[in-house]
Structure 1
């Protein structure tokens, strides 16, 4: 398979833009890294030049450009006023970064952009494109503002996905819900956020690999999916893990890190609200699974296919890996 040279260059500059933002010692350098990342991701989104991809690329560009302008204004105000308006500029910079990562209530663009792009770009948008804004927002962490964003993000992520028929939009609202959990992990410790983000990226990768191989984009396609039951079983396990159901791997960062740490800080209302909204997200995860499992009458045996069954089994093992880890934590 031939690799598009221009696509490779854009991928290199995309990664370089994020690394420039992370390694820069000045806010202006961070802004330049974010802009390089933005200008590299737009051609990657629009690689097939379909009308849907063009629309998503335009939406992404307009929103990110707006956020970049706010970010730059915040930087310039911070430099000009020094200590006089430091809190106001921190709110402005944080708002711009929250818009860039798609946190509620600045999430309006995220599901629409996800709907028009392919699964590999969806994975990049949900994981890699959030790295730089997350790290930069940790430098200006405004606890009172972030707590409001956590409440709204977990609520919007739960309610927004309930009435969706598009799997990409369901994954988008799932990402918004997880974003609330990651912000709460960042309030506790940057290390907790990093562990949560790595586990979330792994689970997302295993889930999107299955959707990509099956070319699944809508719930109606899961009713007609006639494939190896191993794929369906792997999809179910990965979905339950992504929902944070014990004892799978996705439960560990929520329980071991975020819930325990917030309970030690006596943030009982926040924990209760986040857990209740996560139970709501479990409903639309189960909609995806049950629609494919209800029609299994024509699959009579478990068989291996040419479709890299090793990788499918690996995606299932990623989620099951949480069972021995949970057992070990409970025993010791």
Structure 2
């Protein structure tokens, strides 16, 4: 009870740090909010009984500390240049450093190398927070200072996120590379409007939470566990793998909706073509896993009735699988 209360305090502080960073009207306040968020997330990640989580927390701290120092350094130098009313190539250079620090904080390619390794050492709850909430503040800060570096980051993120998941057997690493791929799509939505980024981020977070809750329920860490788990009922297996396809962006699932909106509104034919082709690779390995799971004959206990009867999980999965029609209706109205 005492430990859970302390964890709740750290969680509240972590959320407060992100809100401080988002609502700040200067870069120093934004940096302070990111530091509060970092220093409250580290104790949540660290588990002295698990050496992998301790290693992951150390890696996360070192990378985030480096990114924070780059952020603070670039902001101080740019403020000095701005106070002297000098706009030169050096200002653009430090703006690129600022962008790079935010990319590193989010785990966006080509600054992504720490992200799958850290995810591999975390439990599902911390992985879910790292893949959703921890990306919110850096993404909003990035929208204030977009440079041409974002185009290269979009290409790298979608390419690495698609290729990196091909031979993975760990579900956590698979979700990490899927997150990198989705980050590329989210960055491309910045080229259109912040509204489309917000819509994509909400739907991506919704899909990630829905599938991670299922992994937590069945304590699954590797792909072969999705085939061999004895307590799967057919409807549960169907829901899990349809969530995979929805996360990959296959119609008629909800995950297709934000990609469809970006394809319609992005005025860059080369970028759209590249993004769609690379995302087809992601769909390939999702469909390969799903196809194998549906066709493999598995044993099931006759008296086992392990259906997903939780109203919370049912509602999440219902909207994940059938939310496209609802979103299309809303989009046509507005």
Aligned partners of 1:229 and 1:302 also within 8 Å: no
Which residue matches 1:318? 319
How far apart, in 2, do the equivalents of 1:72 and 1:49 lie?
35
1:12-33 deviation per Cα after TM superposition (whole angstroms, max 9, x unaligned):
1100110110111110110010
| 1:272 corresponds to | 273
2:35 maps to what in 1? 35
Residues 21 and 29, structure 1, Cα contact 8 Å, conserved in 2: yes
Match of 2:46 in 1: 46
Instruction: State the 4+ residue runs in structure 1 displaced beyond 6 angstroms.
Output: 300-303, 329-332
Aligned partner (choices 127, 132, 135) of residue 140 of structure 2: 135
Q: CA–CA distance in 1 between the matches of 2:265 and 2:14? A: 34
How much has 1:154 moved relative to structure 2?
0.1
The alignment status of 1:205 with 2:206, answered yes or no, reads no
Take 2:244 and 2:110, find their aligned partners in 1: how far apart are those partners? Answer: 25
| In structure 2, distance between residues paired with 1:48 and 1:293 | 39
How many residues matched? 327
Aligned pairs (5 A) from 1:174-189:
174-189=178-193
Q: Which residue of 2 aligns with 1:7?
A: 7
TM-score calculated relative to the size of structure 2: 0.92
Distance 1:69 1:147 in 2: 24
List alignment gaps of at least 5 residues for structure 1.
Answer: none
CA-based RMSD:
2.2
Paired position in structure 2 for 1:159: 163
Deviation at 1:221, TM superposition (A): 1.6
**Cα drift, residue 327 of structure 1:** 6.2
- Show the counterpart of 1:110: 115
Asked if 2 retains the 8 angstrom alpha-carbon contact of 1:247 and 1:326, the reply is no
Verify the 8 A CA contact 2:228 2:298 in the aligned structure 1. no
Instruction: List alignment gaps of at least 5 residues for structure 2.
Output: none
Report the Cα distance in structure 2 between the residues aligned to 1:330 and 1:72, rounded to whole angstroms: 40
The structural deviation recorded for 1:303 is 7.4
Q: Deviations over 1:122-173 (max 9, x none)?
A: 110000000000000000011x210110001000000001011111000000
Please report how far the alpha carbon of residue 246 of structure 1 lies from its aligned counterpart in structure 2 after TM superposition: 0.9
Mapped contact 2:308–2:314 kept (Cα < 8 A): no
Tell whether the 8 Å contact from 2:47 to 2:54 is kept in structure 1 after alignment: no
**Residue 81 of structure 1: CA displacement?**
1.2
Aligned partners of 2:39, 2:227: CA distance in 1, in Å?
39
Sort the Cα spacing of 1:219 and 1:305 in 2 relative to 1 into closer, same or farther, 3 A.
Answer: closer
TM-fit CA distance, 1:229: 1.4
Q: Which residue of 1 aligns with 2:93?
A: 88
